[in-house]
Structure 1
Amino acid sequence: MSEVQDKPTGREAQRLRTRQRVLDAAIREFKSVGMAEADIGAIAEAAGVARGTFYFHFPAKEHVLLELEAREEARIAKELTKFLATPHDLKSALHKAIQLVLGLERRLGSVLFKELLAIHFSPARPLNDEWRDHRMIVLVVEEIERARDAGEAQIAVDPYHSAVFFLLGLYAMLTTTSTSKTLRANALDNYLITVLRSLEPR
């Protein structure tokens, strides 16, 4: 029988509710003006807390983005895991990953999405942060490994570097390509074709 984890109660439940309010208010502020211009006082007021409460939960504005990144990555990784549990090939798996990241961009808006990517690649990230801590990278690595073992990808391919190449290229394209839906869709289709060709068995 699996153990049922008790929900937090009392002070811990109140702390988590307050943290969520602060996080939600900060995200709204970041979406509106960006992280650099975000006003901590405005965030605290919108969350209904004292200014010091913001710093209690998030020592710096960057910590809001780190929390948001962890939550959003868990969300899209869960969706990709569901998809990978169904019959698929490498092309459809990578296409699904692209669609999930596009969905993230739509949810966050262009400004916040770019700032999330900036913090993701920032040298200021915790020193103990490893790629295995990022479920999305792990899933893409595992999918490329599966494709290699099934003969869909070349034997010599390194799954980790191929996954990083795919995701880095995707993030770069989303932050630099035209906002025109048609032009962007064409660019992403061509990008996926390029990635798949680089992985084709030789």
Structure 2
Amino acid sequence: MSVLREGPSRRDAQRVETRQRVFEAALAEFRRAGAASADIGAIATAAGVARGTFYFHFPTKEHVLAEVVRREERRVADGLTRFLTAPHGLGDVLGEVVRLVLATERRVGKTLFKDVLALYFSPSRPDIDEWDGHPVMVMIIEEIAQARARGEVREEADPAHSGYFFFLGLYALLATIREAKAVRAGLLAEFITATLRGLEPR
């Protein structure tokens, strides 16, 4: 009598499904309590798994946040890719990035969004610094390089450094601004203007 064995593809599918369930339960708990105060036991219960299963898929809470970063950056990159099919200038691109990032804040909620921003500045964050993990950064660097080739950006400006400084400044502003929506919008507009002015040929 032959014994049917579960193939690796079935096990892999179950692992992926379980990981997604844990991830979604973690997001709900993070939105409720914030990452620092999130209860791992509550996440495991909501996902219908043992506590150890959470740690199997996400060794730390920051690994959950890193997964949010990867997914949301891919979503922003997709939106920016569509935007770039129409005629645009560098200022338009920076403005669209800000708009898409603010849409991310609305989508994930302010509490989770603050935790995600804090991850970029955390010395203990998981390894999310590979270029292929930051598609939007790559696209912005390419746009700055193209603008430099057109003579719209000063020749000595380094596209990679300029792109990094733009995102560092944007995330720092969003993490710290407490003002009303209108004031915040004005500050972000000034930030884009200052970024462009710093890149202009002298």
Q: Structure 2 length as normaliser, TM-score?
A: 0.89
Query: Displacement, 1:128?
Result: 8.3
Aligned ranges for residues 69-88 of structure 1 at < 5 Å? 69-88=69-88
**Partner residue in 2 for 1:139:** 139
**Partner residue in 1 for 2:111:** 111
Q: Deviations over 1:52-100 (max 9, x none)?
A: 2111211221111111111111111121122123211111111001111
Query: Displacement, 1:37?
Result: 0.9
**Partner residue in 2 for 1:161:** 161
* Separation (CA, whole Å) in 2 of partners of 1:151 and 1:24: 46
Query: Displacement, 1:179?
Result: 4.4
Aligned ranges for residues 173-188 of structure 1 at < 5 Å? 173-188=173-188
Query: Displacement, 1:133?
Result: 3.5
* Separation (CA, whole Å) in 2 of partners of 1:170 and 1:191: 8
Answer yes or no: is 1:148 the counterpart of 2:137: no
Question: Do the aligned partners of 2:70 and 2:133 also contact (CA within 8 Å) in 1?
Answer: no
Unpaired stretches in structure 2, ≥5 consecutive residues: 1-7
Pair 1:38–1:126, CA change in 2 (3 A): closer
Query: Displacement, 1:167?
Result: 0.9
Q: Which moved more, 1:90-99 or 1:57-66?
A: 57-66
Aligned ranges for residues 39-118 of structure 1 at < 5 Å? 39-118=39-118
* Separation (CA, whole Å) in 1 of partners of 2:155 and 2:56: 50
* Separation (CA, whole Å) in 1 of partners of 2:64 and 2:46: 15
* Separation (CA, whole Å) in 1 of partners of 2:31 and 2:64: 12
Pair 1:105–1:85, CA change in 2 (3 A): same
* Separation (CA, whole Å) in 1 of partners of 2:126 and 2:109: 26
Query: Displacement, 1:183?
Result: 0.7
Query: Displacement, 1:111?
Result: 1.9
Query: Displacement, 1:9?
Result: 5.1
* Separation (CA, whole Å) in 2 of partners of 1:182 and 1:57: 41
Q: Deviations over 1:93-114 (max 9, x none)?
A: 1100111111111112222112
Query: Displacement, 1:190?
Result: 1.1
Question: Do the aligned partners of 2:118 and 2:175 also contact (CA within 8 Å) in 1?
Answer: no
Q: Deviations over 1:8-59 (max 9, x none)?
A: 9522222111111110110110111111111111001111222121112112
One-letter amino acid matched to 1:110: K
* Separation (CA, whole Å) in 1 of partners of 2:110 and 2:127: 28
May I ask how many residue pairs the two structures share in their alignment? Answer: 195
* Separation (CA, whole Å) in 1 of partners of 2:102 and 2:123: 25
- Structure index of larger Rg: 2
Unpaired stretches in structure 1, ≥5 consecutive residues: 1-7
**Partner residue in 1 for 2:28:** 28
Pair 1:111–1:153, CA change in 2 (3 A): same
Percent of paired sites with the same residue: 55
Pair 1:76–1:46, CA change in 2 (3 A): same
**Partner residue in 2 for 1:190:** 190
**Partner residue in 2 for 1:199:** 199
Q: Structure 1 length as normaliser, TM-score?
A: 0.89
Q: Which moved more, 1:66-75 or 1:130-139?
A: 130-139
Kindly report the root-mean-square deviation, in angstroms, between the aligned alpha carbons of the 2 structures.
Answer: 1.8
Pair 1:65–1:31, CA change in 2 (3 A): same
Q: Secondary structure at the match of 2:152?
A: coil
